[in-house]
């Protein structure tokens, strides 16, 4: 009998996660079922002006995914195509909410496949419950001290409240 060693199937779910929402968590839970390992990678994007630092975003992601043993949290500032190669992954997961998301994602996926032909982007449809939900909307509601129960987990809500109270309500960029 021959022993077959199957390569571990690793997928990367990249994003800003500023902060992680219930929409992201839904994608993470569903994607984690499809792969041996899912790396959720916080993009250290110099051109954006984030509310939370990369470390804070990664820390919140760690807290909200602690029930998922095959999910790992990381961050990167390299080109995604290079980062995927470095992680020995072959799949990039992205979530799609709207046609606008799709147009943008199609462009990025095409570029990534040119830069790394081993990387396949797969799109996961949003759960319709979260199709309206984005980190920006969450920050806007948090800024005005609105109820965030339906959008983020309690630990993320606490972190948002703390952030806005520290900045006297002026942290929204």
Per DSSP, the three-state class of 131 is: coil
Burial code (b: 16+ CB inside 10 Å, e: under 16) for 34-65 equals ebebbbbbbbbeeeeebbbebebbbbbbeebb
Stretch in the footprint of ligand ADP (CB under 6 A) among 13-21, 78-86, 139-147, 157-165: 13-21
User: What 8-state DSSP symbol labels residue 129?
Assistant: G
Shortest gap between Cβ of 15 and ligand ADP (angstroms)? 3
Catalytic residue flag (residue 53)? no
Annotated binding site for ATP: 16-17, 24, 95-97, 105, 130-136
| 129 labelled catalytic | no
Question: Active-site residues: which are they?
Answer: 24, 48, 97, 135
**Contact residues: ligand ADP, CB under 6 A:** 15-17, 21, 23-24, 27, 94-95, 97, 101, 126, 130, 133-135
């Amino acid at each position: 009998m021959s022993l077959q060693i199957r390569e571990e199937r690793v997928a990367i779910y990249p994003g800003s996660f500023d902060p992680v929402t219930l929409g992201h968590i839904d994608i993470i839970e569903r994607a984690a079922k499809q792969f041996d390992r899912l790396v959720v990678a916080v993009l250290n994007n110099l051109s954006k002006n984030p509310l939370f630092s990369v470390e804070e975003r990664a820390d919140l992601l760690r807290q909200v995914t602690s029930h998922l043993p095959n999910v790992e949290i990381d961050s990167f500032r390299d080109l995604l195509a290079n980062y995927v190669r470095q992680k020995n992954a072959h799949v990039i997961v992205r979530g799609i909410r709207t046609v606008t998301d799709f147009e943008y994602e199609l462009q990025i996926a095409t570029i990534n496949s040119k830069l790394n032909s081993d990387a396949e982007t797969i799109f996961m449809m949003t759960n319709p419950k979260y199709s309206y939900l984005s980190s920006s909307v969450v920050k806007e509601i948090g800024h005005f001290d609105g109820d965030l129960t339906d959008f983020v987990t309690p630990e993320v809500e606490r972190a948002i409240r703390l952030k806005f109270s520290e900045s006297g309500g002026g942290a929204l960029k």
